[in-house]
Amino acid sequence: LVLNPALWPSGGRPAAILTGDAVALRPIASGATAVLAVQAKEGGDARGAVRLGPVDRAAGEAAVILDGIPEAWRDEAVALTARMAFEQIGLRCLVAAEPIPGWIAADGRFILDDKTYWERT
C-alpha cells in the first residue's frame, strides 16, 4: 500500500491526511502496511498509531490494528481509517483480530464492510 507522495512534503513531517473532530491521521510509513500516526487535531506528538494492511486487493480487504491509541480517540481514529480505506483506496472490507465496537463478529475476526460503513455514516 503506497500512500500518495503528495502527502509527504519534502524536508518535513508528512501532512495530516484526514482530520476529524478531535484527531488527525498522519502517514509515517507506507508499503505492504500503511502506518498512520494518531495525533490531536491541533497537532503535537503522535499518541498511537493505526496500521492498515496488508491489503488483499483481490478480496478488497485489509487488516486494521490499533496501537497505543487513547481510548477517547479510538472510535474517531477507526472511523477516519475506514473512510480512507473505503473512499480513497477503494477497499470493501476491513478486518480486525481484536473487537472494535460496532463491527460484526464472524469466523474469529471482526468485520466492517463498506455497506455497513455507509449505513453508519
pLDDT digits (tens, 9 = 90+) for 27-86: 777 677 888 889 888 888 889 999 998 888 888 899 999 999 998 998 889 888 888 888
Give mean pLDDT, residues 79-107: 86
Whether the full predicted model's pTM is greater than 0.75, yes or no, is yes
One-letter-per-residue 3-state SS of 58-121: CCCEEEEEEECCCHHHHHHHHHHHHHHHHHHHCCCEEEECCCCCCCEEECCEEEEEHHHHHHHC
The residues, ordered by sequence, that sit 6+ positions from 87 with a Cβ below 8 Å of its Cβ are none
Residues 114, 91: contact at Cβ < 8 Å? yes
Q: How far apart are CA 74 and CA 54, in angstroms?
A: 20
Which of helix, strand or coil describes residue 7? helix
Question: CATH homologous superfamily of domain 15-119?
Answer: Gcn5-related N-acetyltransferase (GNAT) (3.40.630.30)
pLDDT band at 2 (very low <50, low <70, confident <90, very high): very low
Confidence of residue 120 (pLDDT cuts 50, 70, 90): low
What confidence score (pLDDT) does residue 16 get? 60
